[in-house]
Homo-oligomer: A and B are copies of this chain.
Amino acid sequence: MPNTIDPNDVRIFSGRSHPALAADIARHLGLSLDATHYSRFSNDNLFVQLGASVRGRIVYVVQSLIPPVSDHLLELLMMLNIARSAAAREVHAVIPYYSYARSDKKNAPRISITARLIADLLETAGATQVMTMTLHSPQVHGFFSVPADPLTARGMFVSHFHNRGYSPESTIVVAPDYGRASSAARFANQIGLSAISAEKTRLSDTEVYISDLIVRQVEGFSRAIIYDDEIATGGSIVELSRLLIESKIQEIIVVCTHGLLIGDAIHRMVAIPQIKEIVVTDTVPIPPEKRAPILTVLSVAPIFSEAIRRNYTRQSIGELFAFGEEQD
């Protein structure tokens, strides 16, 4: 039984989506990233070469499914496939942001449950295990045929709000829709607050309608912590904030794992004076121009590196994250 990671027994490669996070994860493990060479042929075909022998070794490939998602996905599939074909002992897909987790059901005829399709593609390509974070719904875990570890950032969020002294009389945790409600309730419970859920109806990819039933529920509270899994254009947050402010909420804090912050999302939220803080993680790279003063970015590198370390040394990952459940 190994107690420490043998650097010669492990390879960590990064796709092109988020090399900074991959390097951080490696650094926390006392390792360094192994080189990967990428290029693109003139016919737009991708080319990838892993820069270190993987024969008989445990390989981790780190890739977040950020835009351009299709390129990053195919690059990941190719990297997994190379590792398998080159006789790696285990091939782990480490996907901090699994964007397609949102496509987890058929709410219209003849559409794709793409979260399942991609789980199957990962296995076909050669993944023997998958590590990811905060899936859109906990059931997506069941889409994987190989062992999967959906990690959570909730523990980090709980620590972040520790000792703030928010009282349950003044502060309420708000889930933007029913799908987030259980997760928000678990977070609220860990910091001694209550949670409610708005009822959001999605009119289109960028427009939402939120029922005003929320008004009754936040009556009497002055501070709201909106707890979500992903901020893309920020539309839901902006609309929910409008309703909360109408309901006399004076201070809003936004907490979210995947800070995609597409387009002017960050500016739309910063423009609302009641929003005092936005807390996200770095599962998705956040460029300097989006790093507004009220934005706090917590790094998930310690979580992923610890999960890898425990996986390698055969310690329970569940035990480690005793402060939270296996997934949101």
Instruction: Report how far A312 CA is from B99 CA in the complex, Å.
Output: 36
| Distance from A114 Cβ to chain B, minimum over Cβ atoms (Å) | 6
- A197 interface residue per 8 A CB criterion: yes
Check B205 against A78 for contact (C-beta < 8 Å). Answer: no
A250 in the interface (beta carbon within 8 A): no
Residue in B117, B206, B217 whose CB lies within 8 Å of A216: B217
B53–A315 CB distance below 8 A: yes
A196 to B214, CA, bound (A): 10
Residue A292 at the B interface, CB < 8 A? no
One of B73, B181, B326 near A70 (C-beta < 8 A)? B73
A213 at the interface (CB under 8 A from B): yes
Given A110-B86, A219-B216, residue A102 in contact with residue B45 (CB < 8 A): yes
Point out residues on A near B: beta carbons under 8 Å. Answer: 1, 6, 8-9, 39, 41-51, 53-57, 66-71, 73-74, 77-79, 81-82, 84-87, 99-100, 102-117, 120-121, 124-125, 129, 137-143, 145, 147-148, 178-179, 181-182, 185, 194-197, 199, 201, 205-206, 211, 213, 216-217, 219, 230, 232-233, 260, 262-263, 310-312, 314-319, 325-327
